[in-house]
């Protein structure tokens, strides 16, 4: 598998021609907004489409073959409608499973999101690091291969948080989320060994940085929380080539495959991310 980001290997996609690019940022829900924000900061010249397959959220409930079929089906519709020059898969679950199929199907660059194991191993001093992810990402051989390759000198705690992505989604929708619920999800990340303790936690789900301030506050001791979004945005900017000067504001739009569960606070949050225009591309989950 070719890896784009923090795992180390480069994806040798060609530089795009010098023109105003369209970037599609894709996730199952609202977690990819953390990546979108960084992409928009680094490439304010690009037209941006944020696409959320909320009809199938959360992706962890789909088995692997069904997830591959689903993402390819949704991407076919999105590429046909928006003709993006580059797609960011702002979802660890989809990236670790579907990127090869996407690259085989479409002749455009795809930038994925993988657990930032290499970065965590480089920054730890205690050699105790945690990967906070969804259960599906934790279970995949891909994640364990990253650990063997880049963190052999560390003890890596894999924490499959069953509810944290949903809690992040709920919080952004304006629903009450108790501190105790978040604290229970992150508690297994914090480990002590012979006077050493966890000092780095990598956030291996793009939803989790939505809760970063609360994660920092609820942690039993200070750690470095690694958000992969800046690295994803840097890779995106690299593949897009030099930024362009444009006379008119960039186009930004959010597209949902369901959209019926978007609350008033969610609309306000989307506007805060620069997405005041919201559309629906109906694509019900068929399984």
Q: How confident is the model over 45-58, as pLDDT tens digits? A: 999 999 999 999 98
Check if 189 is active-site: no
pLDDT of residue 8: 34
Cα distances (Å, whole numbers) of residue 85 to 1, 23, 35, 145 = 22, 6, 17, 30
Q: Which of 165, 205, 226, 262 is catalytic?
A: 205
- Residue 286 pLDDT class (50, 70, 90 cuts): confident
Pick from 266, 159, 157: nearest CA to 210: 266
pLDDT of residue 247: 77
Rounded to an integer, the average pLDDT of 57-68 is 91
Cα distances (Å, whole numbers) of residue 156 to 97, 116, 128, 210, 241 = 21, 12, 6, 23, 36
pLDDT of residue 135: 92
Cα 3 from Cα 9, distance rounded (Å): 5
pLDDT of residue 67: 94
pLDDT of residue 124: 98
pLDDT at 9 over 80: no
pLDDT at 245 over 90: no
Cα 189 from Cα 47, distance rounded (Å): 38
pLDDT at 112 over 50: yes
Are the C-beta atoms of 190 and 219 separated by less than 8 Å? yes
- Model pTM greater than 0.85? yes
More confident position, 248 or 272: 272
Q: Which of 5, 55, 75, 91 is catalytic?
A: 91
Which residues lie closer than 8 Å to 184 by C-beta, 6 or more apart? none
Rounded to an integer, the average pLDDT of 107-115 is 95
């Amino acid at each position: 598998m070719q890896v784009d980001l923090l795992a180390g290997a480069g994806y040798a996609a060609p530089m795009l021609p010098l023109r105003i690019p369209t970037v599609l940022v894709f996730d199952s829900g609202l977690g990819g907004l953390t990546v979108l924000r960084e992409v928009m900061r680094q490439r304010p010249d690009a037209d941006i489409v944020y696409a959320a397959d909320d009809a199938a959220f959360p992706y962890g409930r789909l088995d692997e073959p069904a997830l591959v079929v689903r993402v390819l089906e949704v991407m076919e519709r999105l590429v046909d409608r928006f003709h993006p020059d580059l797609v960011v898969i702002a979802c660890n679950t989809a990236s670790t499973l579907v990127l090869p199929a996407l690259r085989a199907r479409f002749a455009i660059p795809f930038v994925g999101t993988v657990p930032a194991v290499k970065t965590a191993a480089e920054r730890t001093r205690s050699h105790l690091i945690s990967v906070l992810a969804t259960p599906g990402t934790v279970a995949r051989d891909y994640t364990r291969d990253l650990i063997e390759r880049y963190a052999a000198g560390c003890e890596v705690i894999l924490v499959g948080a069953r509810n944290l992505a949903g809690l992040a989604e709920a919080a952004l929708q304006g629903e009450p989320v108790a501190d105790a619920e978040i604290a229970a999800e992150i508690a297994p990340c914090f480990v002590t060994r012979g006077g050493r303790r966890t000092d780095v936690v990598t956030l291996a789900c793009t939803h989790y940085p939505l809760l970063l301030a609360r994660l920092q506050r609820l942690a039993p001791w200070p750690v470095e929380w690694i958000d992969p979004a800046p690295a994803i945005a840097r890779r995106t900017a690299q593949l897009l080539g030099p930024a362009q000067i444009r006379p008119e504001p960039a186009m930004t739009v959010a597209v949902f495959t369901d959209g019926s569960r978007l609350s008033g606070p969610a609309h306000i949050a989307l506007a805060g991310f620069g997405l005041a225009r919201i559309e629906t591309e109906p694509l019900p989950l068929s399984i």
